[in-house]
Amino acid sequence: MYTKLNRNDPCWCGSGKKYKHCHEAFDEKIIHFERQGVPVPQRSSLKKQSDIDKIKKSAEINMAALDAVAARIGAGMSTLEIDTIVEETTRRMGGIPAPLNYKEFPKSCCTSINDQVCHGIPSAEDILQDGDIINVDCSTILDGYFSDSSRMFLIGDVSAEKRRLVEVTKECMEIGIRAVKPWMRLGDMGSAVHQHALDNGYSVVREIGGHGCGFEFHEDPFVSYVSKPGTEMLMVPGMVFTIEPMVNMGKDEIFVDEENDWTVYTADRMPSAQWEVELVVTEDGCEILCS
């Protein structure tokens, strides 16, 4: 439960201002929603401006790693080479690859090709072929702060069907970004993402979604992209999370590789695409922190 402080006490956010001049009205608004049964974020999960600034520093490294991949990726390259680019760029800039050894994940990024939905493990045996689509997902730790984003890459002469899937998936992410508004619900955003995918004849993965991020790699809330309007957690300023819809050309069913217990595939082996950004909710919308 949210609790109010005495009006003349220092604000809980660390601004140095009196509570009545800082977050008192903010807390009153959250308490109003909470009393109506709306899930609200924990106060401890909200990011101050000093936290946002540090996440942005982490994000500079994360985006530089993806830029380095973009400059070199192509047919004939192994996904292990992609992983090497990510790790070398990240460490050279003073960061730590967040995926490496996270719950025993063995590499520094995820590389998911064609029908791999997410969590593909880089390998010397996985060689990019002309016509492939691939998602490269990077996450970085810098001074204890986490950034997270992913991009799709088209390898060589990609079919019109795969190219359209990648484009529509990016549109889904962009629609989600535009739907982030303070004092609205995550379900409003998720529903907008889902509807755009459905309107284009695609499906959206249900079991895996976005997540809070910043203080930890994965924080609450879980961010669904098949949710209903007026449901899920309240979006409030200072809340940081990822938008990363996984859009399938075919059905939404998936399965996890039994051998490595990580890589997720579409059950019908049709292609899947994903784009990811990390953002913070602001007073009038949101700000992209990592892309």
pLDDT digits (tens, 9 = 90+) for 198-235: 999 999 999 999 999 999 999 999 999 999 999 999 99
Q: Which pLDDT band, with edges at 50, 70 and 90, does 110 fall under?
A: very high
Contact 11, 19 (CB under 8 A): yes
What span, in angstroms and rounded, lies between the C-alpha atoms of 282 and 226?
A: 24
Contact 99, 107 (CB under 8 A): yes
Of 2-16, 42-56, 239-253, the poorest mean pLDDT is in: 2-16
- The two beta strands, 145-154 and 133-142, are antiparallel
Contact 19, 8 (CB under 8 A): yes
Higher-pLDDT residue of 50, 2? 50
What span, in angstroms and rounded, lies between the C-alpha atoms of 165 and 150?
A: 16
Identify the pLDDT of residue 3.
81
Residue 237: pLDDT above 80?
Answer: yes
Identify the pLDDT of residue 2.
79
| CATH number, domain containing residue 223 | 3.90.230.10
Listing DSSP states for 186-214 in one string gives HHHHHHHHHHHHHHTT-EE-SS--EEE-S
Residue partners of 29: CB distance under 8 A and separation at least 6: 183
Host domain of residue 286:
38-290
Q: Which pLDDT band, with edges at 50, 70 and 90, does 266 fall under?
A: very high
What span, in angstroms and rounded, lies between the C-alpha atoms of 280 and 180?
A: 9
Query: Does 3 map to a domain?
Result: no
pLDDT tens column, 269-279: 999 999 999 99
Query: Does 266 map to a domain?
Result: yes
Query: Does 128 map to a domain?
Result: yes
Query: Does 23 map to a domain?
Result: no
Listing DSSP states for the chain in one string gives ---PPPTTSBPTTSSSSBGGGTTHHHHHHHHHHHHTT-----GGGSPPHHHHHHHHHHHHHHHHHHHHHHHH--TT-BHHHHHHHHHHHHHHTT-EETTTTGGG--SSSEEEETTEEE-PPP-TT-B--TT-EEEEEEEEEETTEEEEEEEEEE-SS--HHHHHHHHHHHHHHHHHHHT--TTSBHHHHHHHHHHHHHHTT-EE-SS--EEE-SSSSSEEEEE-SSPPTT-SPBP-TT-EEEE--EEESS-S-EEE-TTTS--EEETT---EEE-BEEEEE-SSSEEEEE-
Residue 1: pLDDT above 80?
Answer: no
Query: Does 11 map to a domain?
Result: no
Identify the pLDDT of residue 74.
98
Query: Does 267 map to a domain?
Result: yes
Residue 45: pLDDT above 90?
Answer: yes
What span, in angstroms and rounded, lies between the C-alpha atoms of 247 and 197?
A: 7
What span, in angstroms and rounded, lies between the C-alpha atoms of 223 and 127?
A: 32
Query: Does 1 map to a domain?
Result: no
Mean pLDDT on 67-80: 98
This prediction has a pTM of 0.96
Identify the pLDDT of residue 124.
98
Mean pLDDT on 99-105: 97
Identify the pLDDT of residue 23.
93
Mean pLDDT on 245-253: 98
- Average pLDDT over the chain, rounded to an integer: 97
Contact 82, 50 (CB under 8 A): no
pLDDT tens column, 141-188: 999 999 999 999 999 999 999 999 999 999 999 999 999 999 999 999
Geometric angle at alpha carbon 32, from 28 and 38, rounded to 5°: 130
What residues are paired with 151 via a beta bridge? 136
Residue 60: pLDDT above 90?
Answer: yes
Query: Does 87 map to a domain?
Result: yes
Provide the number of structural domains found in the chain.
1
Identify the pLDDT of residue 14.
86
Identify the pLDDT of residue 4.
84
